[in-house]
Structures are given as C-alpha cells and as structure tokens.
Amino acid sequence: MFSIDWAHFTPGSAALGGAMIGASAGAMALIGGKIAGISGIFGGALSEAMQGKRPLPWRLWFLGGLVCASFLWVLFRPVPGAHYGESWPLIAAGGLIVGFGTRLGSGCASGHGVCGLARFSPRSMAAVTTFIGMGMVTTFVMRHLLGGA
C-alpha cells in the first residue's frame, strides 16, 4: 500500500540541491542562451564529434564542470549511496536504453524536467509525464511483479 518513507525523505538537501540545479539552468539560459539539458549537451557533443566536427566549446566546458564537481565531491565524502545493483546485464541494458531514449525524446530530467517545465513547454510536460510514468511502471513490474532485481 502507499506509504511515505519519512525516514529517507530529505527535504532540506533536496531543496538545496534543486535550487542549485535551477540556478545553473537559469544562468545558462539567461546569460548563456543555452538549455542546460544533460542529454542534449552530451548527446549534442557526441553527435558533432561523430560528424567529424569539433564539439561546441561551451558543451565541453559545461560537461567538464559537471565531472569536476564529481571529483571535487569525492575529496570530502563518498558519492551519495553506492546502492547500485549487482546485475551487469541490467545496468548495461538500462544504460543503452537511457542513451537511446533520451536522444529520441530530445531530453531527459534536466532538459525537459527543469528547463522545459520552466519554459511552460507543452512538449516537456508531455515528456516528463511519460518518462516518470514509465519509470514508475517499470519499477513496479521489477520490484513487485518480478520479485525485484
């Protein structure tokens, strides 16, 4: 049955982290003129490289910043929760699907979920509803119908 996991709900850090993500996206849009959607930035750079072109510098700098944040973080504490599954086929298949799906759908949680919704984009509203919905269905099937993985 439906129950809220108050023990694990972290409203303070969720709000702080969310505000930082929003600030980054807002700044990229208003000052940089770009959409801070990770699948678009990363996928776009990949697409440019595959066409033999030099990826747009701003993309590489943004991605560089993202990865630097990661290394900066681990100097002080471990990456939050190393709760990864042990099934490599599941992880590999999931990765392939996420890579393909985010490109086909023109965005992911940051592009559609943050930037698109902040723009009041109907496309993004549809995208967000779809990927959250399918995410919930998939989790339900895997955890409650197939007995978890």
Partner 1 sequence: MKTLAFLCGVIFGLGLLISGMTDPAKVIAFLDIAGAWDPSLILVMITAVLVALVPMQIAQRRDRTVIGEKIAFPITRGITGKLILGSAIFGVGWGMTGLCPGPSLASLAGLTWQEWLFFCSMVAGMVGFEVWQRASSTRAQRQGNPAVPTATPRKI
Q: What's CA 80's distance to the chain center, in Å?
A: 15
What's the closest the beta carbon of residue 85 comes to partner 1, in angstroms?
7
What's the closest the beta carbon of residue 134 comes to partner 1, in angstroms?
3
- Could you give the CA distance from residue 146 to residue 143 in angstroms, rounded to a whole number? 6
Furthest CA-CA distance within the chain: 53
What's the closest the beta carbon of residue 71 comes to partner 1, in angstroms?
4
User: Which letter, b or e, does each residue of 23-60 get, where b requires 16 or more Cβ atoms within 10 Å of its Cβ?
Assistant: ebbeebeeeeebbbbbbbbbbbbeeeeeeeeebeeebe
What's the closest the beta carbon of residue 56 comes to partner 1, in angstroms?
9
